Amino acid sequence: MITDRQQVTAMIMSAKVTKGIKWSQAAEVIGESKEWSTAACLGQMAMTKAQAEATGELFGLTEEAVAWLQIAPYKGSLSTAVPTDPLIYRWYELVNVYGTTLKELIHEEFGDGIMSAIDFEMDLTREPDPKGDRVKVVMSGKFLPYKTY
């Protein structure tokens, strides 16, 4: 019996490692971007029935696990403590260092509001560089102004 979405994520990760599946391959099967598909497999997005069934077939999941993929998840995969994984910590550091800058520039350009993580797109690519390859991340979120009432 599955009692939470994290158990399904663990099943997916186990099958990914065992079968040597790449996230880009999963994305092709799911029919969405590799960024969205990875987030969904890691428990941060709800899948449609068709997406969940395709994911279940790819990773060899049970019917119960496939049903869990279709439930709206509890968002936020990090604990409230400072992350210790070096890559995730650097993103945490990036927000700590540049978060107020991004906030100021977004408010100056758009007004009082936020960048949506719901109406959102992201693309991660490798950018060759003679000094060492670079990670290029492009994020695009809809601006949502705060309303007065």
Active site residue 116: yes
Distance in angstroms (rounded) separating the CA atoms of residues 107 and 112: 5
**Choosing from 57, 93, 104, 121, which is the catalytic residue?**
93
Tell me the helix, strand and coil percentages in the chain, rounded to 5: 50, 20, 35
Is the four-CA dihedral 121, 52, 19, 26 of positive or negative sign? negative
Q: Which position among 24, 77, 90, 104 bears the catalytic label?
A: 90
CA 139, CA 131: separation in Å to the nearest integer? 24
Catalytic residue among 116, 121, 134, 140: 116
Catalytic residues: 90, 93, 116
